Every structure is written in structure tokens, then in C-alpha cells.
Structure 1
Amino acid sequence: MDWLQIVLLSIVQGLTEFLPISSSAHLILVPVLTDWPDQGLAFDVALHLGSLIAVVLYFRRELAAMTASWGRSVAGRGTDEDARLAWWVILATIPVGLVGLAFKDAIEVVMRSPLVLAGGLIGFGLLLGYADWRHRGTRSEYRMHWRDALGIGLAQALALIPGTSRSGITMTAALLLGLSREASARFSFLLSIPVIVLAGGLETLELLEASTPVAWADLAMGTLLSGISAYLCIHFFLVFIRRIGMQPFVVYRLILGVALIWLFG
């Protein structure tokens, strides 16, 4: 891989992993538009590792409090809001884990066409726009109930449909359930941690079985750039989400979906 491919793919992954615009659509478009060879599974693992490091670092204080409180709740020493939030993240992860294991091969083989991506971008983009337009919620992620977590988790399972966007569909569900924009985004970002760990773990197992040569310098650069861009994306998204809302991302999704139909239809 040349340096330009490494830089562009790393930044695209870091930004689109957390913005509600579908990382799968962008990572498929980049090699099509540039005529670059496939970056390979090892580089995909490195990019996901960078995104994971970024979100863990950004929410390190919240994660430390959630982990400590969750441990106390498991030991029967009471449950506070941090422990409940940790339980809600676990509960919301179960549906996507089960669906992913059951239908992983079918999704990868059958549903990764550009037109499926376009349909996901447009359809779920309009749903995100509706959820944001009717937004009335003020609850924080610490005021969620188990039903909210389960509903968001079931919605997250839809992200296995290419073009949906994991962050987009979880924010949509959270908005519809009455969470504030900031709380919807924060819970979505917290949910990304176990999802990235699960997906990265599966990719790592496939990589170990393949026993292909590894370009360690490329992987290190990809991890670093993906992590930096993901960290900045999380920070500025949370800073500006109250003012800008979701509509700019909805417009972008519609334009990208139409572009895919035009290119591949």
C-alpha cells in the first residue's frame, strides 16, 4: 500500500465509524473511485483498533466509573446510575451479537452490493431525519430504562444491513425513545466499544487462520491515523450536535445514496 491509500482509508474509517453516514459505504467507494487494490483484512483490523482506542480514551473516566460500579453490582453491593448504564450497554449489545453470528456470511456475500448500500443510506437516512425533526427528548443516557436499551440494541442489529450505519440507527432509536441528542450520541459511542471488540475479534481470528504476510509499518500508521481522526470526530460531533442536529448528515446520506445509484444502477 502506498502512503496516500493508508492516509485516506485511515481517516475515512476514523470519521465514518462514529458519524451517522455509514462506514461500509465509504470503504467500498474509496477503492472503486481510486482503483486501488483491496487493503486486506489485516489493515481493516488495524483501522478498527484505532477507532477502539480513540473511543476508550475519550470516555475513559465514564468507563472507569461504569466498570467499578458494575463490579459492585455483580457482587451484590448495590446498583447506581453508572452500573445501570454498564448493564444497558451489555443488554443493547446482545441482539447485534446474536444476529451477526447467525447471518454474518449471508450479509457479507449477498447484501454488500452498491445498490443495497444506496437503499440503506437513503431509507435509514430519512428515518434519522424524521427522528431528529420530531425530537422532543431531554433524557440523558443515565436516565434510560432497560426497555430503552433493548430497543436501541434491536435497532443496532439492523446496522448489519450495509448502508444503515451503526451509529446512525442507534442514534435514531435513542431519539425516538426520548433521549437528548447528546445522550443519543454518547450512548451510541459507548455501544461501539463492545461491537468493535466483537467484530475485530472475528476479523483477527480469520487473519490468524489465513497466515498472510503482515506489513507492520502500514498497520501502525493506519491504527494511529484512524485513532486520531476518530477521537477528533467524537469530540467535535458532541460539541456541535446540539446546534447542528442530524439534518446535515441526512442530506449527505441522500446525496451519497443517489450517487451510488447513478454510478452502479
Structure 2
Amino acid sequence: MSVAPATSARRRTLIYAAAAVIFLVAVVLAAARVGEKAGRLSDWQALVLGVVQGATELLPISSSGHLILVPWIADWHYLESHPSFNKTFDVALHLGTLVAVVLYFWSDILRYIAALFRSLARRRIETTDERVAWAVIAGSIPAAIAGAAGESFIEDHLGEPWQIAITLAVFGVVLWLADRLPENRKLEDVRIKNGFLIGLAQCLALMPGVSRSGITITASRAWKLDRDSAARLSFLLLIPIVLGAVIYKGAKDVVFGTLPAGSTGPFVVGTLAAVAVGLAAIQVLLGYVRRHDYSLFAIYRVAVAVGIVVIILSGWRGKNF
């Protein structure tokens, strides 16, 4: 159903206003150094990383890659040398982007949940909403299994800057190629099989630099889903995956673990920044792809990859972090 221009403009204004207020709160807390402890991650550093997470998780440019590259370039070593803090802080940042997606798509989420329960009650799938809901569930299964099985391997063997340069460039080119295909399908055409296959591609996003949203958009465009629907499906697929990761890692590292001193301030500031920038990023991406293709993001990925190589070859930073 199309949205009237006036309604769409009011919604857009409300989203940007909410994002601005939330971000202002994060800045004020960072300026006051609330909950900060000397020698640990500062509130200002958490603010920067929250901004990075909010923008890059929802745009097809890789949040995990940028969350490694920014401290690498800025020469911040606290997260790298304190893995337990890093894991819990990562949970907080992902919670921020999850909140942003849920807030933005709240009415859609309620509609799909209702459709799912109706389908379960009658034990068959009949409506478009029911098909989309089941497709999202099917698409979440492969990445959930791969994430649980491969978490340790990824942490131990992937995520060096030189590796991120390769994945950014390669999958940027793949995104560009997939986006050259025609837009023959819409979100309502998605079925369980399609959702599962797109979710299968999402497993590749476990490698820093690939991008969860990037690979799901790429797979959707390869299936000739239109650009707007590809972005929306990517955001819907984020919800169960990130929710599951937040619950699992939150229970393991926060509830049954011990938060180090000085966590409160950076966690709150980083989460709020991720929510604010995430809201704005969703609005920007959906507005952009209604009028343009994904070439800008593919070019950005290749440019960042080239920049990483230049930095390494210049000797300013090492190829490993």
C-alpha cells in the first residue's frame, strides 16, 4: 500500500527528529563522561563506535569490518586487548541497531507476527504477510546455525585489516554485478525457499567485511527483487538474527558473566548512538534506493579497500591489528 506524500514527509521528519534527540542525549552523556573509568574505553570513543555501528550495520558496507578498522586507524587498543569487554560492548551496539530496526518497522513487525500466528492456527500459509513471515524465519535458520558453530573460528582466524580489505572489495563488486539485474520481483513474491536461500547467503556475513545487509541485499538482487524490497527484506532478516545474538551473548557475557568496571557509560552512550544513527540510516537507505541503485555503496567498499592497502603499504599501520 502506498503512503501519501504528506504522511511520508511527516514520518520522515518524526524519524529524523527522534534520531536527533537520542543522539543529543548520547553526546551530553559523553561530554559529562558519565560512568567512564580512566584507562578504559572512553565515552567519546564509545560514541564514535556507536555511530559507526548504527550506520554500517544497516547500510551494505559491513559493521564488523568498520568496527575493526576504526580502532585500527585511530590506534585504539583497549577493545582488542580486553576481549571480554569487547564482546559485551559488541552486544550493546547490536542491541542499539536492533532497537532502531524495531522502532522503524514496528507496524510491519506486528503485522507479520499476527500473520505468523494466524498461519500456525490454521496450519497452512495463505496470505502474502504469512509467506513473508515464514520466509524471514526460514532465512534466519542458516545464519543462526553458522554463527553458533563458527563463532570461535571467526574470532581466532578472521578480522585482520588486510582480510577486511579483500572481503570489502570482492563483495562490493559482487553487489554491483547483482544490482545490474532487472527488478522483476517484489517483497510479496518471496516464498520460504527464497527466504532460506537468501538467509543461506547471510552466513557469509560472519566474515568481517562482507556485510550482513550487503550480502542479503546482493542475494535478493540476484533473485531480481526490486531494490526497495531487497533493503526491507534485509532489515527484517536482521531482527531474529540480532535478537538471538543479543540474547545469547547477553546471557553468556553479561548475565552470567562479570561486567568490568567502567562499562556503564560506554555501553549506554554507544547503544544510544547506534539507535539514533541506525534510525537515520534506515530512512536514508530506503529513500536513496527508491531513486538510485546500489553502485555508490559498491564504490565506497572498493575505495575503503584501496585505502586500507595504501595505509598498510605506507607503513602507517600494520596489516594485522
Identify the match of residue 13 of structure 1 among 53, 56, 69: 53
Q: 1:142 corresponds to which residue?
A: 188
Matches within 5 A, 1:47-196: 47-76=93-122, 79-133=126-180, 135-196=181-242
CA shift at 1:35, angstroms?
A: 2.0
Amino acid at match of 1:80: T
For residues 123 and 139 of structure 2, the distance between their equivalents in structure 1, rounded to whole angstroms, comes to: 23
2:8 matched residue in structure 1: none
- TM-score normalised by length of structure 2: 0.78
**2:265 counterpart letter in structure 1:** A
Distance (whole Å) between structure 2 residues aligned to residue 52 and residue 161 of structure 1: 20
Identical-residue share of aligned pairs (%)? 39
Matching of residue 2 in structure 1 with residue 42 in structure 2: yes
CA shift at 1:242, angstroms? 2.5
Structure number, greater radius of gyration: 2
| Alpha-carbon shift at residue 138 of structure 1 (Å) | 3.3
Q: Any gaps of 5 or more consecutive residues in structure 1?
A: none
Q: What amino acid is the match of 1:46?
A: A
The one-letter code matched in structure 2 to 1:90 is: I
Deviation at 1:29, TM superposition (A): 1.1
Q: Distance in 2 between matches of 1:189 and 1:212?
A: 30
Deviation at 1:116, TM superposition (A): 1.6
CA distance in 2, matches of 1:162, 1:128: 16
Q: Give the paired residue count.
A: 264
Moved more, 52-61 or 219-228: 219-228
**Structure 1 residues 136-194: Cα deviation after superposition (integer angstroms, max 9, x where no partner):** 02322111122211220111111112211010010001001011000000000000111
Q: Which SS does the other structure have where 2:122 is aligned?
A: coil
What is the deviation of 1:77?
Answer: 6.6
TM-superposed deviation, 1:203: 2.2
2:58 aligned counterpart, secondary structure: coil
Deviation at residue 42 of structure 1 after TM alignment: 2.7
- Once the two structures are superposed, residues 50-73 of structure 1 have per-residue CA deviations (whole angstroms, 9 ceiling, x without a partner) of 111110011111111111111011
1:235 counterpart residue number: 283
Matched, 1:28 2:28: no
* Contact in 2 for aligned 1:41/1:207 (Cα 8 Å): no
The equivalent position to 1:203 in structure 2, one of 235, 241, 249, is: 249
The answer (yes or no) to whether the contact 2:132–2:191 under 8 Å persists in 1 is no
1:212 and 1:59 map into 2 onto residues whose CA distance is: 32
What's the TM-score, normalizing by structure 1?
A: 0.94
CA, structure 1 residues 196+210, in 2 after alignment: closer, same or farther (shift >3 Å)? same
Alpha-carbon distance in 1 for matches of 2:238, 2:109: 13
Q: How far is the alpha carbon of 1:11 from its aligned partner?
A: 0.5
CA distance in 2, matches of 1:66, 1:164: 28
